[in-house]
């Protein structure tokens, strides 16, 4: 398992090192936009005491459909 993790990490490192500056910036902007969307969704749902991942109340726990909240 450790070898798999190391192999995947090495592949990721090689991929990111091969990106041009422009490609890297495009990727960064895409990630930032996604983080911003998730953050805004989190704030909106949190203000209603709901999970932004599943939309259910924080008070609910489902054994059939568990959520990270």
- H/E element holding 69? none
Q: Which residues lie closer than 8 Å to 27 by C-beta, 6 or more apart?
A: 19
List pLDDT tens digits, range 10-41.
998 888 888 899 999 999 999 999 999 999 99
Q: Work out the number of other CB atoms within 10 angstroms of the CB of residue 55.
A: 10
Distance CA 8, CA 1 (A): 11
Q: What is the pLDDT of residue 32?
A: 97
Which of 16-20, 47-51, 57-61, 62-66 has the weakest average pLDDT? Answer: 62-66
Q: Which domain holds residue 25?
A: 1-69
Domain count, the chain: 1
Q: Enumerate the β-bridge partners of residue 57.
A: 50
pTM of the full structure: 0.63
Q: What is the pLDDT of residue 28?
A: 93
Distance CA 46, CA 17 (A): 38
Tokens at residue 34, please?
A: 């996604």
Q: How confident is the model at residue 9 (pLDDT cuts 50, 70, 90)?
A: confident
């Amino acid at each position: 398992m450790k070898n798999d993790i190391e192999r995947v990490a090495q592949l990721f490192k090689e991929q990111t090192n091969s990106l041009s500056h422009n490609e890297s910036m495009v990727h960064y902007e895409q990630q930032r936009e996604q983080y911003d969307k998730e953050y805004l969704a989190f704030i909106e749902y949190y203000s209603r005491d709901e999970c932004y991942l599943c939309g259910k109340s924080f008070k609910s726990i489902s054994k059939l459909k568990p959520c990270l909240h």
